[in-house]
Amino acid sequence: MKNIIKTVIFIVIFLVLLSICSDVFVLKGNGYGTDVIDFYNQKKNSLDVIFFGSSHSYATFSPYIIEEETNLSSYNFATQQQPINITYHYMIEALKYQKPKYFVLEIRMLAVDDEYFATGVVRDALDKMKFSKNKIEAINESVENKSERMSYYINIIKYHSRYNELTKNDFKVAFTHKGIDNKGFIGLEGNDNIIIDNKQVLKETKEEIITSRNKEYLKKMIKLAKDNGIELILVKSPCLLSSDDEAKYNYVETIAKENNLLFINYNKNNTIKYEKGDFYDNGHLSLSGATKVSKDFSNYLK
């Protein structure tokens, strides 16, 4: 019995130290949307609206403006190039801590055909998620090479060589569990040289089917929202379009209609007048552009 107790104590101490070391060594917030840690710091069941998606989401919807306009608390749970399957697991993760009225999915990544994404993209989304069955499933679906998955389950395997790069902030974040407090929103600088013209592309009426993988996870999101009494809203933020992308968005719009979902394509919205400096590049709004769209989107929530 004494040996069993000693073994259990050793295992517990080992796991605690492993967890602390992983928190210290893992890369901290890098400015690509939510750093995930901040999401866990939101007061339980305090969020009314949660946004999901890629940089097209975190550069578009400002929780601060939306709360000011609607008195609804929100969070932009988006990361760079967030793959659709990871978005689904983010929704599951969100429901562990929040009971929102709305899920808002920025649909840019539904038009992307890739099944697996760059390591940096996947790690940015998954490294700081709390360890759980949901995280394991997300890793298994997102990391093609099985031999690499262990370094996602246990971060220290990947980041142990950072010992000579550690700063005070690494220890501060690890022990206080306080990351970048931005509610996931990134306000980008404006570029006066960017002019978006989609008039010709928006004439595209054909539909192009999205990948079976993306369609599968979109259906899962629709069911997850419905089962939890949440209204799922699909949005396409303003950006320079290709004909192929627009054909896929047309297809997504059809799915939205079939499921009685609100679909907002801001490339077809003529109520917002964009000016010089409202875009950061051809794919993303600047802070001033995001302010305009956030205020407009607030009207839908109202």
Give residue-wise pLDDT tens across range 112-163: 999 999 999 999 999 999 999 999 999 999 999 999 999 999 988 988 888 8
Confidence of residue 173 (pLDDT cuts 50, 70, 90): confident
Average pLDDT over every residue of 79-106? 98
Do residues 62 and 187 make contact, with C-beta atoms less than 8 angstroms apart?
yes
Please count the CA atoms within 13 angstroms of the CA of 33 that sit on its side-chain side.
25
Of the pLDDT bands very low, low, confident and very high (cuts 50, 70, 90), residue 203 is confident
Q: Is residue 151 part of a domain?
A: no
What is the distance, to the nearest Å, from the Cα of residue 286 to the centroid of all Cα atoms in its chain?
Answer: 18
All residues at 6 or more sequence positions from 96 whose CB lies less than 8 Å from its CB, including other chains: 134
The total number of structural domains in the chain stands at 1
Task: Please give, one letter per residue, the 3-state secondary structure of the chain.
Answer: CHHHHHHHHHHHHHHHHHHHHHHHHCCCCCCCECCCHHHHCCCCCCCCEEEEECHHHHCCCCHHHHHHHHCCCEEEEEECCCCHHHHHHHHHHHHCCCCCCEEEEEHHHHHCCCCCCCHHHHHHHHCCCCCCHHHHHHHHHHCCCHHHCHHHHCCHHHHHHHHHCCCHHHHHHHHHCCCCCCCCCCCCCCCCCCCCCCCCHHHCCCCCCCCHHHHHHHHHHHHHHHHCCCEEEEEECCCCCCHHHHHHHHHHHHHHHHCCCEEEECCCCCCCCCCCCCECCCCCECHHHHHHHHHHHHHHHC
Residue 165 scores a pLDDT above 80: yes
Task: Give mean pLDDT, residues 167-186.
Answer: 86
Residue 106: predicted pLDDT: 98
Domain for residue 22, yes or no?
no
Q: Which amino acid is at 102?
A: Y
Which residues constitute the domain of residue 48?
Answer: 30-129+136-142+178-301
For residue 168, the model assigns a pLDDT of 87
- Dihedral through CA 150, CA 119, CA 125, CA 248, nearest 10? -130
Residue 222 vs residues 6, 91, 125, 219: alpha-carbon distances, Å: 49, 11, 21, 5
118 is a domain residue: yes
Of 205 and 122, the one with more pLDDT? 122
User: Mean pLDDT across the stretch 156-183?
Assistant: 86
3: confidence class by pLDDT, cuts 50, 70, 90? confident
Is residue 238 in some structural domain?
yes
Whether 156 is in a domain gets the answer no
Q: How far apart are CA 195 and CA 225, in angstroms?
A: 36
Residue 211 covered by a domain: yes
Q: Flag whether pLDDT at 62 surpasses 90.
A: yes
Residue 272 falls inside a structural domain: yes
Indicate whether 16 belongs to any domain.
Answer: no
Query: Which residues lie across from 5 on neighbouring strands?
Result: none
Give the Cα separation of 184 and 236 in Å (integer). 18
pTM for the structure as a whole:
0.92
The domain that contains 183 carries what CATH number? 3.40.50.1110
